[in-house]
Structure 1
Amino acid sequence: MISGATRGQGLGDALARHLTDAENDEVVVVPARGLASMDLTGQIRELVAVSLGGRTDRPVYHVHVDPDHGIPDEAGARALFWSLFEKEFGLRDQPYCGVEHVKHGRRHEHRIYGLVRTDGSVVDLAWDYPRREKCSRIVEHAYGVPPVPSKHARAIERRLRTEGRHDVADWLVDAGATTAARPIAPLTPTERLIQDRTGILLDDLRRSALAAWRASDDAASFVAALRARGLDLREGRVGAVIVDASGTTHLATRLIGAAARRLEGARIPAVVVRARLTGFELRETLHGRRDRATPRQAGPGVGSHPSGAGAPGGRDGSVGIRRIGGGPGRPDGGGRGRDGRDPDTALGRLRALPAGRTMILHRRLAGLDITLDRYGADVGRARSATDRMEAERAYESRRAWLLWGKTDIWGLPLT
């Protein structure tokens, strides 16, 4: 029983197009729960719309499950998996939509769940991979097929015993799953989606990045070697990132480490990569994962909100909206970003300045000699903050106008 999952914003219609792609032999839209729209595109948009009150910028959870070949009752196996899965994650009352695919004679199912509850809280997906695998192991045990190898087998066995499922835990031990070598997948589900979207094979990217690493002995020569291979090194939100030909960013420590492990058999530790890059001045990335001052065009229905989230009034007339503060620097639950900075605090202080102080600040910034190295970075950050504030004001004004008099499916005003 194989399952996979990705979590995202659900903005635009790319997910709906992917799930209804004609490359499948058969596509059947399954009955939705808690949604009024009749088609998959509308259902996904509705999931995003009802998540506006939640403290997350990734309210959509896309899960797929593929029963084992040895299970004749694949519909029953899928039904058992979804029952266990919803109980495990507390999703029994959450809206969802989905499709069934038949491809090469095999049937599998995709579901897209909304993660924001009616009280605004967000479903906890911590350790979602081993928790989903635990559900799969229970299904395999119930249908008498061997367990799929998993690097989490020992953790799953311990958890099963904690929950009183000693029969499944003993079955895992007897099958040798807890003592087998841990399998390493060549691609994660997210990496596979990125590879499909960009058309750039991750193994080729890893090979080029590792060759640049081996051909260099310091940060400057590493950057030069990357650029000679059509890549670049930039400053990302949580560290240095390697930018490929499509503009997609990849965390440098992760890409170099995974490349060495896959191609040479031994991983290069992240601390070694960071040590080589320490003290080297990098430019902020301008493509892929953009800085928060750069509008992000992610497809139909996505506007110019500086957080990269959808704004109302897209090209297709859809209303795909994210709240202010729900951008990539604000993880679930608010607070500081993963890099330890809190940009909203600084922006709040700027917004609170009296009109006179704001004019003085603008005059001083305009009079600075930005050619001086000591001022360049500060001026850039200040101007980015100013542009971001102006974009947020314009977004709020446009949002309020488009939502005037509109309500969600429960009759609550969209504000």
Structure 2
Amino acid sequence: MILVGNSRGGARNLADHLMKDENDHVSVHELRGFAADDLHGAMNETYAISRGTKCEKFFFSLSLNPPPNERVETPVFDDAIARVEDRLGLTGQPRAIVLHEKDGRRHAHAVWSRIDAETMPLGGWITAESGCKRSLASSIVSMVGKCSKALLIEARAIRATSHWSNGNKP
């Protein structure tokens, strides 16, 4: 599984991108921790909450792409997302999962809010960038032994930007 993750802003653009009809099938698999019941509403809700902080990149976005010839079922995506969530310290954060299928290839996107409502007055964001590349790599290594199918995990293709460690604002 190729994992690509980064922090980002742009609620409307992200929701538009995830719901593009250029895919053969698009489904919102999960919305957790949002008052809104649709993806655009959930993304806008996170943007509105972020206005109470100095956080400009209030989402952590992850795409999960299986090898070209593998058909990955939803529970495998769910497990991979849960592992990444745990390793990045995003457990319990509002999250959206969108499944895409294009030309017979299934892939998934997960988006978490980086805003911690409990600590908003004190800064209010969860870094999720610190050690991101290592966390994604260790998630992949742990998935290799857990897949019930002979699913090849391509660790060499990991890319994750690390704005936080480069001194940029979160």
TM-score by length of 1: 0.35
SS at match of 2:82: helix
Q: Does residue 150 in structure 1 map to residue 152 in structure 2? A: no
Equivalent residue of 1:132, what SS? helix
**Residue 72 (structure 1) shift:** 5.5
Letter in 1 for 2:51: L
- 1:126 match: secondary structure: coil
Offset at 1:69? 5.4
Q: Which residue of 2 aligns with 1:193?
A: none
Count of residues paired in the alignment = 158
Secondary structure at 1:21 match in 2: coil
Structure number with greater CO (CA < 8 Å, separation at least 6) is 2
Which secondary structure state, in structure 2, belongs to the residue aligned with residue 81 of structure 1? Answer: helix
- Structure 2 residue runs of 5 or longer lacking an equivalent are 162-166
**Residue identity matched to 2:141:** R
**Is the 1:67–1:74 contact (alpha carbons within 8 Å) kept by the matching residues of 2?**
no
Q: Give me the CA root mean square deviation.
A: 2.6
**Alignment map for 1:156-305 (pairs within 5 Å):** none
Alignment partners' CA distance in 2, 1:2 and 1:104: 18
Q: How far did residue 52 of structure 1 move? A: 2.8
Counterpart secondary structure, 2:98: strand
SS at match of 1:31: strand
Counterpart code for 1:129: K
Deviations 1:16-43 (A, max 9, x none): 2111111101010122111121221111
AA matched with 1:132? L
Find out whether 1:123 has 2:123 as its counterpart: no
Q: Assess if the C-alpha contact under 8 Å between 1:40 and 1:98 holds in 2.
A: no
> How far apart, in 2, do the equivalents of 1:331 and 1:102 lie?
34
Does the aligned pair in 2 maintain the 1:81–1:139 contact within 8 Å?
Answer: yes
CA shift for structure 1 position 46: 0.4
Asked if 1 retains the 8 angstrom alpha-carbon contact of 2:72 and 2:106, the reply is: no
Q: What does the per-residue CA deviation read over 1:200-255, in whole Å, with 9 as the maximum and x for residues that have no partner?
A: xxxxxxxxxxxxxxxxxxxxxxxxxxxxxxxxxxxxxxxxxxxxxxxxxxxxxxxx
Structure 2 match to 1:87? 86
Residues in 2 aligned to 1:29 and 1:147: alpha-carbon distance in whole angstroms: 25
Aligned counterparts of 2:134 and 2:48: Cα–Cα separation in 1: 30
Offset of 1:98 from its aligned partner? 3.2
**In structure 2, do the counterparts of structure 1 residues 95 and 148 end up closer, same or farther at CA, with 3 Å as the change threshold?**
same
**Greater fraction strand:** 2
**AA matched with 2:57:** R
Of Structure 1 and Structure 2, which has the larger fraction of its residues in helix? 1
Q: Which of 310, 320, 331 is the aligned partner of 2:169? A: 331
2:34 paired with 1:31: no
Deviation at 1:134, TM superposition (A): 1.7
> Which runs of 5 or more structure 1 residues have no equivalent in the other structure?
153-187, 191-328, 333-415
The answer for the alignment partner of 1:63 in structure 2 is 62
- Computing the radius of gyration from Cα coordinates, the structure with the larger value is 1
CA, structure 1 residues 73+117, in 2 after alignment: closer, same or farther (shift >3 Å)?
same
Instruction: Give the Å deviation of 1:64.
Output: 1.2
Identity of aligned residues (%): 25
Q: Aligned to 1:135, which of 112, 119, 139?
A: 139
Q: Secondary structure at the match of 2:92?
A: coil
Q: Does 1:103 pair with 2:117?
A: no
